[in-house]
Amino acid sequence: MTKQVALILSGCGVYDGSEIYETTLTMLRLDQLGIVYECFAPDIDQHHVINHSTGEEMDETRNVLVESARLARGKARPLDELSVDDFDALILPGGFGAAKNLSNFAVKGADLEVVEGLRAAVQPFHEEGKPIGVMCIAPVMVPQLLGQGISVTVGSDASVAGAISAQGGLHKSCEVTDIVIDAANRVITTPAYMLAERISEAAEGIFKLVDRIDGWITDDQAREADKQN
């Protein structure tokens, strides 16, 4: 059976959008496993635009969906078109877009709110028990998106871990090459570039995350096939 995974992006570029290496590594591993994927992003203006050469804010406006399409080779759809019925699992790569465009964590800290439409897109996957993968800084949104008491990791960053705990989440420290699995909630997280110093380090954890999601989808499809027989 075909496996299909949705990716939610937040722009293009580590400082103001989705982390490019994290997203590309996710796409690569999905493709290597023969999993079809599709990208979605909110059709909104970015929080701001960062010059990635200097780290300085630029006096211009960019659209999150348009920028995400850069990363998806033109194939990105508006977030409100994402339907849980069309996919077996969901993955949210990191990058500061998660903290600036998908949420306002960069401004509000533990009092963050997620962007309109994100919870409505993500919660149905959790309600139906479909696997959800989250990486880098994006796990800080998990308590707002999925509820309290879910184990996640951002690696070892004390301030972000504290924000997760303050929202009722459970943070577990983790090496960059590993993953944290909350089997009861079917949520998998990995630190990626919260800790990675080399792309190969990020790849190891991200590949483990995607591999585990692949395994869960296989199990789900096998159970569904048994029901139909």
Distances (CA, A) of 190 to 6, 54, 141, 204: 18, 28, 14, 10
Cα dist from 183 to 29, 119, 131, 133, 180, whole Å: 21, 21, 9, 12, 9
Q: Please state whether beta strands 180-182 and 187-190 pair in parallel, antiparallel, or not at all (unpaired).
A: antiparallel
- 217 contact partners, CB below 8 Å, separation of at least 6: 3, 5, 35, 88, 89, 131
CB 95 within 8 A of CB 13: yes
Is residue 39 among the annotated active site residues?
A: no
CA angle 184/189/192 to nearest 5° reads 170
From 12, 39, 136, 174, active-site residue: 136
Q: Any idea which residues carry the catalytic annotation? A: 136
